[in-house]
Amino acid sequence: MPIQHKFYQTNFGNGFETHNAILDITPYKPEVMIVGTFNPDTPNANFADFFYGRNFFWTAFKNLFIHNAVVIPNRRMPPNGNPPAILNPTLLEIFDLCKKLKLTFSDLVLEVLHNNNPVYQLLPNDNVIFNGLEYNLIQDGQNGIIGGLQQLNALGQVNWNTQNIITYLCNNPQIKTIYFTRRPTGIWAVQWNLIINHSCMIGRLTTNIFTPSGAGAPVNRSMVRLLNHWVHNNNPNFGRLDNNWLTNNGVNINNL
């Protein structure tokens, strides 16, 4: 069996559903899409309950749109181990934010290890052994002896979701803003460019923002620096959140 996206097809039971790792059924017409990379449905380390359920994304959005200040400094779930009993924001609050901001989500990788029924071994840390080599399903490329998605892609073992995303966006012209949650380089640049260069994207804002994992300089897992980057960035390698959108949704950007 391939390793699919955690939300390949999910019915949350409240008017929100995903198909092909796209939040394509919502109780509103979405206006903003957040595009990510991959969220593998692996049993030992992935406790996500929604898109970006583990990292800084939802704590950052609650800081922005509810508190309008840095009140929650941490990611929503710890990086390893079971999540805490009480999550902030709760899943209910996440759906409320989706409704308030008319958000939808998608990821560029639909599944991996899907081609020709490959035999692989899933390790306790959710890495895999395939053809005698170890691969991490989150990292981009080679890290020491451990390969990443770039290496799996070279073997034809990454099933891209790009065309499904393009089709969804073409069918939903009211979505005027599309954010990609990383710098588009390597294999990611190829797929992101297919999206932004499609004729359906004319007249839309398409830009990338710093990863909500907070990893790497200049953010280095600081909520203050992440929000400052998202709101005020002037680094040409990244975009920023539409300041008019923020202001129209009650955010005082001078506070961040």
Mean pLDDT of 93-113: 98
Tens of pLDDT, residue by residue over 123-165, are: 999 999 999 999 999 999 999 999 999 999 999 999 999 999 9
Mean pLDDT of 34-50: 92
User: For the sheet containing 205-208, what is the strand order?
Assistant: 9-11, 17-19, 22-25, 103-107, 32-36, 177-180, 205-208
Q: Token pair 């992935």 is at which residue?
A: 46
Per residue, the 3-state secondary structure of the chain, as one string, reads: CCEEECCCEEECCCCCEEECCEEEECCCCCCEEEEECCCECCCCCCCCCCCCCCCCHHHHHHHHHHHCCCCCCCCCCCCCCCCCCCCCCCHHHHHHHHHHHCEEEEECEEEECCCCCCCEEECCCCCEEECCEEECCCCCCCECCEECHHHHHHCCCEEECHHHHHHHHHHCCCCCEEEECCCCCHHHHHHHHHHHCCHHHCCCEEEECCCCCCCCCCCCCCHHHHHHHHHHCCCCCCCCCCHHHHHHCCCCHHHC
The pLDDT of residue 231 is above 90: yes
- Quick one: CA dihedral 40, 41, 47, 49, positive or negative? positive
Q: Which of 9-13, 138-142, 171-175 has the lowest mean pLDDT?
A: 138-142
Which amino acid, residue 134? E
165 burial (CB, 10 Å; 0-12 / 13-18 / 19+) is: buried
Q: Token pair 């939808």 is at which residue?
A: 104
Q: What are the domain boundaries of the chain?
A: 3-117+156-255
Q: Give the span between the Cα atoms of 216 and 200, in whole angstroms.
A: 33
Mean pLDDT of 194-220: 97
The pLDDT of residue 228 is above 80: yes
Structure pTM? 0.96
Under the banding of pLDDT at 50, 70 and 90, the label for residue 43 is confident
Q: What is the pLDDT of residue 256?
A: 87
Q: What is the pLDDT of residue 45?
A: 78
Q: What percent of the chain stands above pLDDT 90?
A: 93
Q: What is the pLDDT of residue 81?
A: 60
